[in-house]
Amino acid sequence: MRSGVLQTPLAYLKGVGPNRAEALKTELGLETFGDLLQLYPNRYLDKTQYYKINQLQNSGADVQIVGKIVNLKTIEQKRGKRLEASFVDETGELKLVWFRSHKWIRENIKINEPYVVFGKVNRYGNSFSMPHPEMELLKVHQAGLKISMQPIYPSTEKLSAKGITNKVVSKMLQQLFLETKADFNESLPKTLLDELKLLPKPESLLNIHFPKSQELLAKAQFRLKFEELFYVQLQLLSKKAARKKKIKGLPFKEVGEQFNSFFNNHLPFELTNAQKRVIKEIRNDMGSSAQMNRLLQGDVGSGKTIVALMCMLLAIDNGFQACLMAPTEILAQQHYNGLKDLLLQMNLKIALLTGSTKRAERTFLHNQLENGNLNILVGTHAVLEDKVQFKNLGLAIIDEQHRFGVAQRSKLWHKNEIPPHVLVMTATPIPRTLAMSLYGDLDISVIDELPPGRKPIKTVHRFDSNRLKVFGFIKDEIKKGRQIYIVYPLIKESEALDYKDLMDGYESIAREFPQPEYQISIVHGQMKPQDKDYEMERFVNGETQLMVATTVIEVGVNVPNASVMIIESAERFGLSQLHQLRGRVGRGAEQSFCILMTSHKLSADAKTRLETMTGTNDGFEIAEVDLKLRGPGDLMGTQQSGLLNLKIADIVKDNPILKLARHHAVQLLKQDPKLDKPDNLPVRRTYAELVKDKAIWGYIS
């Protein structure tokens, strides 16, 4: 069938009409024949078996029975009436019961005609009843498409209220198959169908909506999931190849004086093998004539900053400037201080630009950037302002890049005539599954090794009833000269409640750790920024031993002397938050600890999160568990979950299919990059339609 038929508005399908079409569009976003075809069932009721009345069990299962209605009567109840029918087969009798729609049922039911009824049975003494059964005359049932398993479609209360029930949707799909004769274009090459023993497209669509058997349903699901993920990967890989071909880069051929001098004389510690590998990958990228677009993943404390600096030195050696953009002032300040310390012995100029930078300082900074005297600029969103012009920006590094929108990032691209190389960094480990889907058009580098000498943080779970022992442990650590974080949850919907938790906690800590022996800092979201900074500063300088805070400290505080992180109501935090908070300690040479405090009442998910945290320090392992618990949409936030709005596949549960789809997409593009071969005509046609209809997902990077 030509794809044009699938673009037909739903109102033109027999049995739909304008009102139903409008309801389906509003509630489920369905507008065309093609949209309805891709409304895949959530689950199936097995209708492969017909039961006799004497075989019925009180199991609560849905059953299907063939028989006749021999009489109908209305029975008065305390509240209203019920309509009851005697339904018989050759083995016994069953009561069919309705509590509403009596008039319609009385007018439409045919006495002594064979019916197929379907529903849940309830037992009362020795007799069975079936409330509100699905009913179909046996002759209609036999004439319809043979559905051995009944599909259950996604729906909403409003659709049900408008009479668009599951049965109605199923009828619409039957009509769609009749009108189109199920003549749907194949979208995968024959070689692939043969190699993977995939069902043809028309057969897959028929068996996803009207499965003939469990086996055919499983084959149809596999085929359609594979196809969906295959086109996601094809889109990402094509985009990556096109970008490399189209967007010229700045070839950094020179590994010069700055890079070598820093590496040989000023490196504060030996690089790990993972850091060396990643620097080599980035050097190869920046040395080619294509623009680099690389994601650098590394757990908290894995040494991404030193890698970023060495890449900047490569840019400087080739006569270019570099910039590093961070999402918050605290983080930008921290990057700036860290880089400045590393570059103390080097004859290079580095500056910081944030929203707080004074006007006079800004003007000087703008001039230095434009005349090329400034080598490295570190900043926040302020870097994106139109006034900020570089002489020749060669490398743009974006930290915690998921906090910036696509439009903001593209502004950086236009700061140079030829787009700079782009390195995006994240300390939030992204499971491989997600990385393949979200960032499949980026090259990915991973620092999967912590610097030597770092002791793994010891993580324990303690109940509130152990609080006095925990306080005793804190006192011992403070005696050793260490500092302590105590963090309370911050959930926006209940800020008042959280504030109360924090203040109650603060009061009990102040009683347990009295002045002048102990000094306490407190930081929460309702404080003025300057007060927050003042308290942070006191803690960073070692003037206070305890920092009581909400999660405002999650990103960007680096206090090597802080060795204990206590997380209150840890069951209220997500896994990635817990992992990020734990990463605030363990930055010095001493043994660090993370104590997860909870009540005794824990959900199954909370137990899994706590067990994961106490069981591993590996951010990637934690991210995989998080993905399974929360699903991809939640994990990436609303900003990026649109991509994952897949029709049938689930990138977590269908991970093996995703890997298979990516492998075959890679092979196909390697052998036939332009999709010119006759066998790949279905792929070329389908791909062109997806791009034209904008049905292919909007991508992140």
Q: What is the pLDDT of residue 437?
A: 67
Say if CB 427 and CB 401 are below 8 A apart.
no
The listed range with the strongest mean pLDDT (118-132, 137-151, 176-190, 444-458) is 176-190
Q: What is the pLDDT of residue 498?
A: 59
Q: What is the pLDDT of residue 640?
A: 42
The CA-based angle 565-571-575, given to 5 degrees, is 70
* Least trusted range by pLDDT, from 126-135, 187-196, 324-333, 397-406: 397-406
Q: What is the pLDDT of residue 499?
A: 58
Query: Can you read off the two tokens belonging to residue 347?
Result: 């004859």
Q: What is the pLDDT of residue 635?
A: 46
**Packed helices 214-246 and 681-692: angle between N→C axes, nearest 10 degrees:** 80
Please tell me the distance from the alpha carbon of residue 403 to that of residue 353, in angstroms, as a whole number. Answer: 18
The listed range with the strongest mean pLDDT (70-74, 241-245, 500-504) is 70-74
Query: Can you read off the two tokens belonging to residue 214?
Result: 């469990």
Percent of the chain at pLDDT > 70 equals 90
Peptide bond into 516 cis (omega under 30): yes
Per the model's pLDDT, the better-predicted residue between 129 and 557 turns out to be: 129
| Bridging pattern class, strands 62-76 and 81-89 | antiparallel
Q: Tens of pLDDT along 171-185? A: 999 999 999 988 899
Of the pLDDT bands very low, low, confident and very high (cuts 50, 70, 90), residue 441 is low
Q: Indicate if the pLDDT at residue 349 is higher than 70.
A: yes
Mean pLDDT of 150-169: 90
Of the pLDDT bands very low, low, confident and very high (cuts 50, 70, 90), residue 331 is confident
- At 370, which helix (H) or strand (E)? helix 359-370
Residues 6+ apart with CB under 8 A from 500: none
Q: Which domains does the chain have, with CATH numbers?
A: 1-47+157-184 (no CATH), 49-146 (2.40.50.140), 215-247+648-692 (no CATH), 257-447 (3.40.50.300), 458-616 (3.40.50.300)
Of the pLDDT bands very low, low, confident and very high (cuts 50, 70, 90), residue 512 is very high
How many beta carbons lie within 10 A of that of residue 320, not counting itself? 23
Q: What is the pLDDT of residue 405?
A: 57
Q: What is the pLDDT of residue 117?
A: 93
The listed range with the strongest mean pLDDT (405-414, 565-574, 616-625) is 565-574
Q: What is the pTM of this model?
A: 0.66
Q: Tens of pLDDT along 43-89? A: 888 777 889 998 887 766 788 999 999 999 998 887 788 899 999 99
Q: Indicate if the pLDDT at residue 697 is higher than 50.
A: no
Q: What is the pLDDT of residue 577?
A: 84
Please tell me the distance from the alpha carbon of residue 11 to that of residue 20, in angstroms, as a whole number. Answer: 7
Of the pLDDT bands very low, low, confident and very high (cuts 50, 70, 90), residue 6 is confident
Please tell me the distance from the alpha carbon of residue 358 to that of residue 328, in angstroms, as a whole number. Answer: 17
Q: Tens of pLDDT along 636-666? A: 443 344 445 688 988 777 888 988 999 999 9
* Least trusted range by pLDDT, from 246-250, 260-264, 362-366: 246-250
* Least trusted range by pLDDT, from 284-288, 402-406, 600-604: 402-406
What proportions of the chain, in percent to the nearest 5, are helix, strand and coil? 45, 20, 35
Widest distance between CA atoms in the chain: 99
Q: Indicate if the pLDDT at residue 428 is higher than 80.
A: no
Of the pLDDT bands very low, low, confident and very high (cuts 50, 70, 90), residue 694 is low
Q: Tens of pLDDT along 100-110? A: 888 888 888 99
Q: What is the pLDDT of residue 695?
A: 46
Please tell me the distance from the alpha carbon of residue 394 to that of residue 415, in angstroms, as a whole number. Answer: 9
Structure-derived torsion over alpha carbons of residues 6, 12, 14, 15, reported in degrees to the nearest 10: 110
- Written as one letter, the residue type at 631 is G
Say if CB 33 and CB 13 are below 8 A apart.
yes
Q: What is the pLDDT of residue 227?
A: 96
Q: What is the pLDDT of residue 404?
A: 57
Q: Tens of pLDDT along 372-418? A: 999 999 999 888 888 899 999 999 999 875 555 556 666 777 777 88
Of the pLDDT bands very low, low, confident and very high (cuts 50, 70, 90), residue 554 is very low
Q: What is the pLDDT of residue 147?
A: 61
Averaged confidence pLDDT in the chain: 86
* Least trusted range by pLDDT, from 298-302, 554-558, 562-566, 591-595: 554-558
Q: What is the pLDDT of residue 683?
A: 95
Q: What is the pLDDT of residue 77?
A: 81
**Packed helices 619-636 and 604-615: angle between N→C axes, nearest 10 degrees:** 140
Of the pLDDT bands very low, low, confident and very high (cuts 50, 70, 90), residue 495 is low
* Least trusted range by pLDDT, from 128-137, 300-309, 410-419: 410-419
DSSP output for 406-443: HHHHHHHHTTSSSPPEEEEEESS---HHHHHHHSTTSE
Shortest CA distance to 175 belongs to which of 53, 12, 62?
12
Of the pLDDT bands very low, low, confident and very high (cuts 50, 70, 90), residue 366 is very high
